[in-house]
Each structure stands twice: as C-alpha cells, then as structure tokens.
Homo-oligomer: A and B are copies of this chain.
Amino acid sequence: MTRDSKGPDPQRSLTLLWAGRARGRRGPRPQLSVERIAQAAIRIADTDGLDALSMQRIATELGYSTMSIYNHIPSKDLLLEVVADVGAGKPPELDSTGDFRHAVRQWVAALWAGFQTRPWLLRVPLGHSSMGPHQLAWLDRLLQPLLRAGLVGGEARAAALHLTAVVRGQAQISIALTSAPPADEGLSRGEAELAQLLATFINPRDYPALAAVQAAETAADLAEHERADREAFPGALSFGVDRFLDGVEAWVAAKSHRRDNG
C-alpha cells in the first residue's frame, strides 16, 4: 500500500475491493484497516449524510490522525468505491422454489429497501465498485431465478442489468422528489401546494401528454397513494417490473416453442 500514484486504475480498485491483505509484512502491525475505515465511513454517511463524509471526520471517528487513512487507501475516490460496495451489504435469500417471478420481486424489494435505508448510496459515483464482491453477490442472486426461468447466459445478464438499472433509477428519481422542505416559518406548505405550483407551468400547449395524464389522474389518485404506502415498493416500480417479467416469460415461451418445432 503506502505511497502510490493516483488516476483511475482498475487494477488497484479491484485489489482494494477484494482485499485479501497479505500478512507477513514488515513494520509495525497496522491497527487501522480498509475494513474498519469503510465501516466508519458508512456509519458517518448513515447518520450525517454523504456530505459529512470527509477523511478528517473518519480519522477523528476512529481516533487517528487524518493522514493515517492514506496508509490504507490511496484516495477518497477509491475509498468511495469501497464504501459503495461494502455499503450494499449482503443480498437477500430468495425463495428458490416455485415461481421465478416471486423471487425476482423479492430481490427488487430488497434492493429498493436498501436504497431507502441508505439513500446516499445513490449519490456515490459507481467507479469500479460494480465489480466488488458485494455487488457481484447481488448480481449472482438475481441471475439464479432468471436462469431458472429459462434465459440463456447473455439474456440473463441483460435482464439482470435491466432490473438493477430500473431499481437504481427509480430510487434515484423517487428520492430526488422526496427531499423534505425545511418546514420552518410556521406554514410548511405540503407537496400538494407544490404540485399545484408545478401544475401552473404544465400548460397543455407545451406538454400535451403530460397534461392529459395529469388530468386523468386526479380521480383515483388518493386511493392508489394510500395503498402504495403499504406495498414493498411503489406502484410505478411494480408495474414496470411486472410488464418486464411478462415480456421475459413470453420470450422464454416463444423460444421453447421454436425449439419444439425446429
């Protein structure tokens, strides 16, 4: 480790992510470790947000000087890669019996819940962390029901990427919209008033489809909103995932039919 050159070096990222620290080195025994540093960083981000995450903060949290951190991690960018991987945690256990759709929905719900718990994960630039051990574990878990459904290698990989991307993207958008107003000044105008303000901008001339959708929605809106709070993930996500799984199922069926007749 020690002093090193910078720059986006995938090799370094990978070895850092996959740890496996070699023992039997010289010098004093390290008290700090990549693991401890990452844990402290996650703790800070969980409690005070990603903006509060600084090298100095980590060091004081652990009771060491700021620069000691750099003996274990060459830069903050690399640290963030590690944090993004470790912070993802372990993937859930899925029902491997029966419907592959059920398993996939379980996986989606778990990932969604993870992003709700740690919204800051969505603000960490991915870097090479998507090749970290935890990220790959999540990917592996999702691939299993997809392969079981009848997708072949490349298709399963594409479908898994699709689902990962959907949850990531939806969570990002969802969290962006749910940033709480300051609520001081006595009257904290709710989302309703905000939506109304926005509605004044959405004139049917510039946004015909949007206006149409918005007009058609005011009716059944409330009932759906209340129901959504009780679900594992919101209706918009659910609809998309279900339609995708419909398509996957049809694709597999068509493939096997092709094989039967070929």
A97 within 8 A of B: no
**Nearest-neighbor residue (CB-CB) of A241 within chain B:** B162
How far is B243's CA from A251's CA once the two chains are assembled, in angstroms? 7
Contacts of A251 in B (CB 8 A): 243, 246
Interface string of A229-255 (1 = CB under 8 A from B): 000000111011111111110110000
Give the Cβ gap from A194 to chain B, nearest Cβ, in Å. Answer: 5
- Assess whether A44 is interfacial by the CB under 8 Å rule: no
Task: Give the A interface residue count (CB, 8 A).
Answer: 84
Taken together as a complex, chains A and B put the C-alpha atoms of A209 and B209 apart, in Å, by 42
Decide yes or no whether A71 CB sits under 8 A from chain B: no
Which chain B positions have C-beta within 8 A of A123?
A: 125
Which of A's residues lie within 8 Å of B, judged by CB?
7-11, 14, 18, 123, 125-131, 133, 136-137, 139-141, 143-144, 147, 152-159, 161-162, 164-170, 172-173, 175-177, 179-182, 189, 194, 197-198, 201-202, 206-210, 212-217, 220, 224, 235-237, 239-248, 250-251
Could you give 12 example pairs across A and B, Cβ below 8 Å?
A: A10-B179, A126-B173, A130-B173, A147-B213, A153-B213, A156-B209, A158-B236, A158-B237, A161-B240, A162-B170, A162-B239, A242-B247
